[in-house]
Structure 1
Amino acid sequence: MRRISMMTMFILCAVLFGTLAMQAHCRPQLLADANSTALYDERKNEDFLICVEYKCNCFTPNGLASTACFPLSIRSAVVQGGIPGAANLGGCAALESIVRRHALKGALYAAICAAPPLALARWGLLNGVKATAHPAFVDKFPAEVTAVDANVVVDGKVVTARGPAMAMEFALALVEQLYGKEKADQIAKPMLVRYEPGYTFKELNPIQWQCSGTPKVLIPLANANEEMEAITIIDALRRANADVVVASAEDGVEIVARHNTRIVTDVLLDAAADQQFDLIIVPASRN
């Protein structure tokens, strides 16, 4: 493992239409906690508005053109998963050129979920490498790649992971490769990522909670909320087909989360005030 000095590093995170929401936001938040700056690539929209999976609309701070000519060197390139996001990224010639040049320099690069076979392997950047991917896409690896049944695989300068539930492990593996295990542990501890052996949770005063029909959930967001917590909650509930209303407590529908992710909410909070909800979830924020 090669460790780099504790100066600010610039990490390229590639996202496109159809990228998986929780994967796209775990990495930037943990990398920012580790003193890194996440740059995003995209190619769809002039204003860099990305509709990732499960209708989580976010603005990215950079596009391919701005990132390609960024004056500081990129230390790591990370390709996100999701369908059709991973396939869209794999078909992006501009992104392939950037990541290929990056890999030829011997720098760290990574992918998660469907992106290892649909992007990195498609570009020939996993030849002779041991890698993992989402089980539904492992058979897409060419013969030159050795598929490994593991959550996260680090093989030399390449890091791959299986899917959404491993997004946190994947992000911490990147932090460890860039900064060392001590830094990764330092970040993981306050985020309660790695529980002590025997960890359990206890439900107090249990009740029979139910609702008729599709649950309607309100998630209010304000500036400086934790994007990873908010997006993960929205992602999971919308996967379950809940009717999730994301409402802005600010003056406009766009909020700026803790690590400067610009999230476009569904409505202003005032517009949701008179609606009936089965559940209201308030995400956290940290200074």
Structure 2
Amino acid sequence: MALTLHHFTLLSHPPSAALSARLLRTKRFSFPALINSKRFSGSVMASAPRKVLVPIANGTEPMEAVITIDVLRRAGAEVTVASVEKQLRVDACHGVKIVADALISDCADTVFDLISLPGGMPGAASLRDCKTLESIIQQQAADGRFYAAICAAPAVALGTWNLLKGKKATCHPSFMEQLSSSATTVESRVQQDGNVVTSRGPGTAMEYSVTLIEQLFGKDKANEVSGPLVMRPNHGDEYSVLELNPMEWKFKNSPKILVPVADGTEEMEATIIIAVLRRAKADVVVASVGDKLDILASRKVKLVADVALVEAAQLSYDLIVLPGGLGGAQTFANSEKLVSLLKKQKEANRPYGAICASPALVLEPHGLLKGKKATSFPALSNKLSDQSAAENRVVIDGNLITSRGPGTTMEFALAIVEKLFGRTKALELAKTMLFVYP
């Protein structure tokens, strides 16, 4: 799938000759600052590692952090997730628990090709108040290397640090007035001006991340990575789903939803599902299908579940929904307890669903798609016994919902919100997250 850039506003500001010369005299240089130097051949630049720093804090928006980390690692970037707190574990927004790779103090002497700040409040304020991070990113800007921010972070952090002066930038609509005092504000979903990239919110995070890949690796790599993500071709437009055999999804009080996770689970899919459903005020239980609550997801993001599956299995759920990821899906398929829960869910005519690898590797082999239309990750759709609906991004058939991959997860989660709370609520969330134009 070709990358569409029609919503991006790109400005090219290569470093001046004086800056290039200064960078060549110092050890603190990296690929982006030297991209126009004739002294560096394509083969040398191609072999240079791209180091990326993604700082996180308590109250960070987890979708923005995890999507950025995941997508950049897909491109081969060496991403360091650094906590600005006193401990590695961070309690992000919506109860998502992330374990960082390092403390920010461990990163002070490392040269990064890119620093990307996720948003979320009070996470963005904690990033702003971290003196070590401020020092690192001020040096990043002084050396002409890339830095970026999304959602609240452009206004709250970069603007406060005076790093957007004379730049065009964007952010979440609720922070645009604050941003206007430190930058020229624009409403692009993703905005690049020179060595700075900014973006609007969770619903633009994947486009933002692919833009960062293009800056670090070039358009060919951006296209290569974006294809398997199954990204939307029409960013910002209202989403649609294929629904067959419509039925009401019933629940009492707040819907109780089980989201199993395991080593190898696709972290973008899990995080988006959990965060979106919790934004809708659903009672989401994240259960580890393994011996520990900590899991190492498919792109090495470290997440922490709420409970073990053995404990979660003692309850009943209004919905059970499986994220994908090859390793995670295989673990799900091999879990007698989880498969038993899913079969009981189907027999009771209660809703269940899966995305990416899980429809093909978990639901299909255990007879949980019998008599149902479904979709899955494109490369695995040939494993579905009925492939007639496999080209659709989200398919609902009665009490079953399935979807294709990371780039369809937001639509998948919003479709669940719509079934539980109605389309008005789903579109309200979609607009707040900037997935759909407000």
TM-score, scaled relative to structure 1: 0.94
Query: 2:182 and 2:322 mapped to 1: Cα distance?
Result: 47
- Check if 1:43 corresponds to 2:67: no
Q: Which residue of 116, 139, 148 corresponds with 1:110?
A: 148
- Check if 1:223 corresponds to 2:263: yes
Letter in 1 for 2:186: V
Aligned pairs, number: 284
Once the two structures are overlaid, the 10-residue window that deviates more, 60-69 or 81-90, is: 60-69
**Residues 217 and 242, structure 1, Cα contact 8 Å, conserved in 2:** yes
Q: Which residue of 69, 73, 84 corresponds with 1:28?
A: 69
Equivalent residue, structure 2, for 1:208: 248
Q: Structure 1 residues 138, 246: CA separation in 2 closer, same or farther (over 3 Å shift)?
A: same
Higher helix share: 2
Alpha-carbon RMSD across the aligned residues, in angstroms, is 1.8
What is the correspondence of 1:52-131 to structure 2 with a 5 Å cutoff? 52-70=92-110, 73-131=111-169
The one-character-per-residue Cα deviations of 1:2-42 (angstroms, maximum 9, x if unpaired) are 66525431101011110001001001100000010111222
Q: Structure 1 residues 241, 152: CA separation in 2 closer, same or farther (over 3 Å shift)?
A: same
Letter in 2 for 1:154: Q
Displacement after TM superposition at 1:260 (Å): 1.5
Equivalent residue, structure 2, for 1:166: 204
Task: State the SS of the aligned residue for 1:54.
Answer: helix
Q: Structure 1 residues 105, 274: CA separation in 2 closer, same or farther (over 3 Å shift)?
A: same
Larger Rg over CA atoms: 2
Could you tell me which runs of 5 or more consecutive residues in structure 2 were left unpaired when the two chains were aligned: 1-11, 13-31, 36-44, 328-438
**Residues 6 and 179, structure 1, Cα contact 8 Å, conserved in 2:** no
Displacement after TM superposition at 1:183 (Å): 1.2
Query: 1:51 and 1:201 mapped to 2: Cα distance?
Result: 33
Query: 2:92 and 2:46 mapped to 1: Cα distance?
Result: 33
| Residue identity (%) | 38
Which structure has more RCO (C-alpha within 8 Å, separation ≥ 6)? 1
**Residues 15 and 80, structure 1, Cα contact 8 Å, conserved in 2:** yes
Q: Which residue of 15, 24, 34 corresponds with 2:56?
A: 15
Q: Structure 1 residues 286, 37: CA separation in 2 closer, same or farther (over 3 Å shift)?
A: farther
Letter in 1 for 2:67: C
Letter in 1 for 2:73: A
Task: State the SS of the aligned residue for 2:78.
Answer: strand
Q: Structure 1 residues 214, 6: CA separation in 2 closer, same or farther (over 3 Å shift)?
A: farther
**Residues 257 and 263, structure 1, Cα contact 8 Å, conserved in 2:** yes
Displacement after TM superposition at 1:274 (Å): 1.7
Task: State the SS of the aligned residue for 1:281.
Answer: strand
Letter in 2 for 1:244: V
Task: State the SS of the aligned residue for 1:203.
Answer: strand
TM-score, scaled relative to structure 2: 0.62
Task: State the SS of the aligned residue for 2:97.
Answer: strand
Query: 2:305 and 2:189 mapped to 1: Cα distance?
Result: 32
Displacement after TM superposition at 1:180 (Å): 1.4
Task: State the SS of the aligned residue for 2:85.
Answer: coil
Q: Structure 1 residues 31, 6: CA separation in 2 closer, same or farther (over 3 Å shift)?
A: farther
Query: 2:216 and 2:232 mapped to 1: Cα distance?
Result: 19
What is the correspondence of 1:218-257 to structure 2 with a 5 Å cutoff? 218-257=258-297
Letter in 2 for 1:109: Y
What is the correspondence of 1:252-271 to structure 2 with a 5 Å cutoff? 252-271=292-311
**Residues 133 and 162, structure 1, Cα contact 8 Å, conserved in 2:** yes
Equivalent residue, structure 1, for 2:366: none
Query: 1:151 and 1:188 mapped to 2: Cα distance?
Result: 17
Query: 2:225 and 2:126 mapped to 1: Cα distance?
Result: 32
Letter in 2 for 1:52: A
Letter in 2 for 1:232: I
Task: State the SS of the aligned residue for 2:263.
Answer: coil
Equivalent residue, structure 2, for 1:137: 175
The one-character-per-residue Cα deviations of 1:205-254 (angstroms, maximum 9, x if unpaired) are 22222212100000111101111110111000110111000001110111
Q: Which residue of 257, 263, 275 corresponds with 2:315?
A: 275
Letter in 2 for 1:188: S
**Residues 33 and 187, structure 1, Cα contact 8 Å, conserved in 2:** yes
User: Where do 4+ consecutive residues of structure 1 move more than 4 Å?
Assistant: 1-4, 196-200
Query: 1:14 and 1:196 mapped to 2: Cα distance?
Result: 30
**Residues 188 and 194, structure 1, Cα contact 8 Å, conserved in 2:** no
Letter in 2 for 1:261: V
Query: 1:262 and 1:18 mapped to 2: Cα distance?
Result: 17
Query: 1:234 and 1:278 mapped to 2: Cα distance?
Result: 15
